[in-house]
Amino acid sequence: MILTVTLNTALDLTYRVPALTPHASHRVTQVIERPGGKGLNVARVLAALGHETVATGFAGGATGATLRELLAPTSVRDELVETAGTTRRTVAVVDTATGDTTQLNEPGPAVTAAEWTAFRGRFAELLDGARAVALCGSLPPGIHVGAYAELVRLARAAAVPVLLDTSGEPLRRGIAARPDLVKPNADELAHLTGSREPRRATHDARRRGAHAVISSLGPEGLLAATPDGLWRAAPPAPVRGNPTGAGDSAVAGLLAGLVEGLPWPDRLARAVALSAATVLSPVAGEFDPTAYEDLLPRVKVTSEPEAA
């Protein structure tokens, strides 16, 4: 099975309005609720691809209970750890006239030292039998900034490949623990390395400890510094829509390719096709299966010269 970790889970709400105008009242035409947080998004996509998937992290309060009720009918196994605080909500307001999305994210609940200890124990148990693990998203209040580095070391000690997808100081510390993959976006990569030149920044990030670095370039696709060289993968044409969850779908594609033993070009093509198909989906964070099947054979993957 593949294990996903979401320390700061969320109940995702998508509101669709005919047009979003500042300082005005709006009539919402559609409301969609789903379990959210980056790792849960990854888990849902992995399950849709046919992989046995287990989700852990924290959930609490009435919002957490709703999240778990929505997760229960899916094929993702719930191994979330109960917290006394209330799980946050995120609100995506979709302007149906333009396709643009405005995102509002609440802070997460404070996690106690005892709750963190309970989670670490659950995580260690779940590593037994895991083929890969994804550590995704922000850290809720109360969890130290080296938490992901700690979890990376636990996964490596258990010989389980680990992908890290976070930002800021948790990324800086986590990458030093030598994860198998990290997937920063361009801004996160620039903050980590001080460079906005994609090839140089991706190469520098890999030198900091990661086995492979897959940098998200937004609509332009992915740039990957791997043991097999530097690769660029791009969709056949720019896609327009709701980008919520697109990066998480890319993570799912990378993990699926890893456990299936696919070569890097195939892993990257899958990640880009899933990401683009998520942008095209009418529901935030879901991917359009028809669009995915259409895009996959048309993703362009090329070998790039190494940075100097």
In DSSP notation, 18-35 reads S---TTS-----EEEEEE
Task: Describe the strand order of the beta sheet including 88-95 as a list of residue ranges.
Answer: 30-36, 10-17, 88-95, 101-105
The tokens describing 300, both together, are 């362009």
Q: Strand, helix or coil at 268?
A: helix
Cα 68 from chain centroid (whole Å): 19
Burial bucket for residue 236 (CB in 10 Å: 0-12, 13-18, 19+): middle
Q: Strand, helix or coil at 135?
A: strand
Helical segments of 33-162, H only: 38-48, 61-71, 113-127, 147-157
Judge whether 194 and 203 are in contact, CB under 8 Å. no
**Residue found under tokens 């969609």:** 32
Positions annotated as catalytic residues are 248
Judge whether 63 and 89 are in contact, CB under 8 Å. yes
